[in-house]
Structure 1
């Protein structure tokens, strides 16, 4: 058997207020005063001086604020790459992503595409990138997606929703500062945290499971239980633990894979624009048949935090709409294989998938 030699994030800083070290971390990576750092920042922080005043701008560095109202798209990556190339004659020193999973995925994709020809959609898939990305740093401001550690970006393209999965995708540096998550709205905190929890359930119950992914998945799941089910946990402790759960959850799927919830969620997102975290929650809520214990605990967490999920998303869809979602979901073959085994095509049908979507 040949084992995959996956890359990991080579450098990581963890700790409250570690964001303040950003300047000293990136300074040695400045190629010259003519080659700036480009900061891609969630526009929720545009008027938040507590964060923006600490971004270490020098020379002709640039901050680009980005809306995350919609999921990241390949055309958005192409537009950012075109914008950066039009501003500078040479490649920048690096890309710094500051935000949630959408911003981190955009930062990874832009760093790749600045050094590769073509359009982002050309690289949606597994191991299609052959030239390394430029230096890129990830700084999460919400915990759960695992985007800070994963070897993929999640992008919606003209034909499908699929990541750029490659050895060149992971960040060169990550800064994990739990303090940056202090103002996350409750519902978003829950949905994104559940993305991490669902990573764990799908990894730990998948056919790709091995001791490497199991050790990370079990720790991430344990931390999720502490954050979402414990009584008396302080806000700071919750922030610290969920940030580490996100890291471990991302690591758990680096050497395994996610499963049915993510496959079906991608279909919702592609057709309806449903955000990733809430989409996973909406789907997972109906997967008792496949993940009975995981869904049972998910519903306990949902009740404990008084979360009411949207319903009726698929109530007025046409047959063509359902076909589009099913095509997107079924196109993610590794996810189905992980969930149901090598003979997954004999265990799931379009009729079954449609019946699940009709519940949502």
Structure 2
């Protein structure tokens, strides 16, 4: 059977397109006493971006902190805050920020229409009710969060996304102007998340012409951005690379790097982008050409990765890392095939983490 997957139905791309957000939201303001919730990274507090938000009437500005990866407890607290603000369900949730902020917006929009804790829905297709209308406005490019059906969360027992067709945004606005001023390291780590998506998809056992077509274009754009000469279209290229990279894994999957990075993040709290970079640098045996090119990109942009993260860790913590990584079965199946358990043993996984 072939997957009948959903994609984001409405997309606006172009410099200055944020100015159209008010018009986009106008037709969704349908409830008497209704309001929109703007979920924005608190790094923009009192910055010009906040002043550009088309807020009206009872609209709520929800500044979120992404110093740590989004946790299920944080999502539950934000949902409770919105419900305490009004008995009326919002007409829409608008996420503005990087991948973590967009994942928060996705998770909040789901949980406003589904009972219980967000931890109850970590997994594949557990969500029963459609999300509140939700919009993505990425301010950094590479994670693919704007196009993915996953809201990645760290729960009490695991790091795993809420994976559902209902997770997908209803609208995305890709404005390359919003990428201006992103710190170099963050720009690089997030962009490498996209590059690694492509490597894992293109080298996976799930590869097909649909995924290959998007993945090849995405990786070519990444090469232009990270190995080519700097030009005025870099932001435009990286935004489209992120979009195409997300589409590439929609009909395939990521692989070993993302599985291992989940273990690193769950135990050490390492942020996703840098976690993927740290992990990828040790995967020569699985992705030799990709790792070689990745190191060329690091050299060109003078990026140095943290080392000795797992040095001195106790056995219980290392064992939890291994368990977290190996629980991501679809990622390993894509990477190594149906016999993956005999290839990526607990011992081999543990040795990889010890090298980090």
Q: Normalization by structure 2: what TM-score?
A: 0.99
- 1:187-229: CA deviation from partner (whole Å, max 9, x where unpaired): 0000000000000000000011111111110000000000000
Give the equivalent residue in structure 1 for 2:332. 336
Name the CA distance, whole Å, in 1 between partners of 2:51 and 2:270: 32
Q: Equivalences for 1:266-277 in 2 at 5 Å?
A: 266-277=262-273
- Measured in 2, the distance between the counterparts of 1:249 and 1:313 equals 28
Q: CA deviation at 1:33?
A: 5.0
Distance (whole Å) between structure 2 residues aligned to residue 207 and residue 82 of structure 1:
42
Matched residue SS, 1:240: helix
Map 1:223-234 → 2, pairs under 5 A:
223-231=221-229, 233-234=230-231
Q: Which residue of 2 aligns with 1:36?
A: 35
Partner of 1:250: 246
Structure 1 segments unaligned to the other structure (5+ residues): none
Aligned residue number for residue 216 of structure 2: 218
Residue number in structure 2 paired with 1:124: 122
2:183 to 165, 174, 185: 185
The DSSP-based 3-state class of the residue aligned with 1:163 is strand
Spell out the pairing of 1:160-175 with structure 2 (5 A cutoff). 160-175=158-173
Indicate the residue corresponding to 1:71 in structure 2: 69
Matched, 1:288 2:287: no
Q: What corresponds to 2:297 in structure 1?
A: 301
Q: In the alignment, which residue of structure 2 is the partner of 1:83?
A: 81
Q: Aligned runs of 1:233-244 on 2, under 5 Å?
A: 233-234=230-231, 236-244=232-240
SS in 2 for 1:71: coil
Conserved 8 A contact 1:33-1:59: no
Given the superposition, is the C-alpha separation of residues 355 and 184 from structure 1 closer, same or farther in structure 2, using an over 3 Å criterion?
A: same
Please list every run of at least 4 consecutive aligned residues from structure 1 whose deviation after the TM superposition is greater than 4 angstroms.
Answer: none
1:141 aligns to what?
139
Task: Please list every run of 5 or more consecutive structure 2 residues that lacks an aligned counterpart in the other structure.
Answer: none
Instruction: For residue 90 of structure 1, report the CA deviation from its aligned partner.
Output: 1.4
**For the Cα contact (< 8 Å) 1:105–1:154, is it kept in 2?**
yes
Report SS of the residue matched to 2:63: strand
| Structure 1 position 32, deviation (Å) | 2.9
Please give the alpha-carbon distance, in whole angstroms, between the structure 1 residues aligned to 2:7 and 2:150. 12
Given candidates 312, 320, 325, the residue that maps to 2:321 is: 325
Tell me the distance in 1 between the aligned counterparts of 2:41 and 2:175. 16
Matched with 2:19 is: 20
SS of the aligned residue for 2:154 comes to: coil
CA drift of 1:68 comes to 1.1
Please report the TM-score for the alignment, with normalisation by the length of structure 1.
Answer: 0.98
Report the Cα distance in structure 2 between the residues aligned to 1:322 and 1:295, rounded to whole angstroms: 24
- Give the RMSD, CA atoms, in angstroms: 0.7
**CA–CA separation in structure 2 for the residues paired with 1:274 and 1:105:** 16
Count of residue pairs the alignment pairs up: 356
What is residue 152 of structure 1 aligned with on the other side? 150
Partner of 1:175, secondary structure, is: strand
Tell me if structure 2 keeps the 8 A contact 1:34–1:59: no
The answer for the alignment partner of 1:206 in structure 2 is 204
Q: Are 1:279 and 2:275 counterparts?
A: yes
